[in-house]
A and B are shown apart, each in its own frame.
Chain A
Amino acid sequence: MDVMIAVLIVIVSFAASIAGNMLANELYDQAPSFARWLIDRAVMQLPDDQRDRYREEWVAHLNELPGSLAKLCHALDFNLRAARRVAIEQKRLHSNLNASDERAQEVTMEIIKFGIKLRVAHMVIPLAIRCQFPKIRLLWKMIDKMLDSAFKYRKKYNATPEQMSRWWKQAERLLKENVRTHEPANATKHFR
């Protein structure tokens, strides 16, 4: 009985070693394609516009490594750590860019606002002087308030600087039209 068990153990271990060897060879042969698959999965974690770049770069990196095992280890590293952390860096970069875009838009808005004030002043102040309106400063405050409320709406409707410029051109045309209607004699003098 003991002899039978011993023979069985020898046969099983022999078969297991052959099977293990075959499996190891198979895995070794499949390692590069598995590594490639891991990289394909890794780049899916990145923003769309970065995927092709990093796929090519990382595959080139793997090509420079000797041996299938090293390739597999690096591919795992790309998959488990690099991709996620590069994605975080890209996200941080984009949020910074968005913040600077927003700031640039605010500055543009202020410039547009100042331009509008000058144009309004150019139209209204000569008219006020001609009509001998006594409180030009009061007039200026009114203009200020009007513009502030207009720019509050900009935030509400998330209007771009281009839309605000367009809005102002329309408003200016209407204002001129109104003045023309009320004082046709002065229109030519002040607004053309």
Chain B
Amino acid sequence: MPEQDVRLTQPTLKVLRFLLEKPREGRSGAEMSKATKVGSGTLYPMLARLEAAGWLSSEWEAIDPREAGRPRRRYYKLTALGQNNARAALAELQVAAGEPAWMS
């Protein structure tokens, strides 16, 4: 996996914070968009970038779309690299903002 530049913008940090709440659970794009209020036009390019950088992994929902009568969701979750980097980025931000790190 090539090393990619991950721009840590405000929406990216929101999404990372949301994913860090339950890092072992996969979250769909719709869930993320609803929880973080990040629009789909910003969310999906960001997810593609984070996935390319190895911070996220994604997989299809384990259902048969014909039986379920709806398309499968794509679930995203943080990789070990993503968890470490996201925690570091959020901690750095808290220190920079003057908020004590232990209050997170």
Contacts and interface: CB of A to CB of B under 8 A. Distances in A.
A1 to B, nearest CB: 55
Interface stretch (B43-51, B79-87, B92-100): B43-51
Interface string B29-59: 1110100000111111100110010000000
Contacts of B31: 64
Contacts of A89: 45, 48-49, 52
A170 B73 CA distance: 55
Interface residues on B, range: 20 to 34
A86 B30 CA distance: 17
Q: Is the interface of B mostly helix, strand, loop or mixed?
A: helix
Interface of B: 2, 4, 28-31, 33, 39-45, 48-49, 52, 61, 65, 70-74
Interface of A: 53-54, 56-61, 63-65, 74, 77-78, 80-82, 85-86, 88-90, 92-93, 96-97, 99-100
Given A60-B70, A86-B45, A96-B2, 7 more contacts: A60-B73, A63-B70, A63-B71, A64-B30, A64-B73, A78-B41, A81-B40
